[in-house]
A = this chain, B = another copy of it.
């Protein structure tokens, strides 16, 4: 086993080279793991790389982590446990848009990860398509962003409209907000995949983490080429 992979008891192998390969450390997906498992992996990461982040974490997960890592913090809406993170990087701007108030937890998950990764990020909320003027009044904010993450449930139409107004990449995040034939976010997911606006990409339902990671990958290359060019 190469040195870069650390074995945590019988149940995990931490991939410490991921930072180098993917420009992000490995994250811990807490849901389905016991508090003890999460705490063991979390502290191993902090020890080795000086930072860690766990998503979909419950209060119980946090209690176990906090007992080991005193400076870990918990955001109950975003459900993130965080300890430190990458230094802020001023190059590149992400805008996270939540169609409605109920989409906020997913938007905050994206927001929290971006801050952990040192990326610059702003949040815009409750600008759904049924009152299109709410969105149009923000058009300058939209056009400034280098990456837009658009979080929406129900029919998931917001990314199509946003994508029509900007030239930057738009990452659409369907949420499980809705009822009846929304089928836990499937309606929004299908809507976003079938967008009539070219250039919109989609991540899994409620996957704020994935959207933020994708935005970070974009900014990483951005910074790389910009530093190479200088």
Contact = CB atoms under 8 A, between A and B. Distances in A.
A137 B229 CA distance: 28
B200 A214 contact: yes
A72 interface: no
Interface in A157-203: 157, 160-161, 163-171, 174, 176-203
Summarize A's interface: helix, strand, loop or mixed: mixed
Nearest to A147: B221
Nearest to A55: B198
A147 B221 CA distance: 8
A207 interface: yes
A27 B198 contact: yes
Interface in A119-147: 123, 125-134, 136-138, 146-147
Interface residues of A, number: 110
A157 B167 contact: no
A184 to B, nearest CB: 8
A169 B93 CA distance: 16
Given A160-B130, A222-B221, A214 B199 contact: yes
B221 A129 contact: no
A202 B193 contact: yes
Given A134-B5, A179-B206, A222-B225, A155 B199 contact: no
B201 A127 contact: no
A150 interface: no
Nearest to A148: B217
A201 B137 contact: no
A92 interface: yes
A218 B160 CA distance: 17
A33 interface: yes
Contact of A213 (B13, B56, B199): B199
Contacts of A35: none
Given A133-B2, A168-B220, A204 B210 contact: no
20 contacts: A11-B101, A11-B104, A17-B133, A21-B165, A32-B177, A33-B101, A91-B225, A130-B161, A146-B225, A155-B192, A156-B194, A168-B220, A168-B221, A180-B184, A183-B190, A187-B193, A190-B191, A199-B216, A200-B210, A201-B214
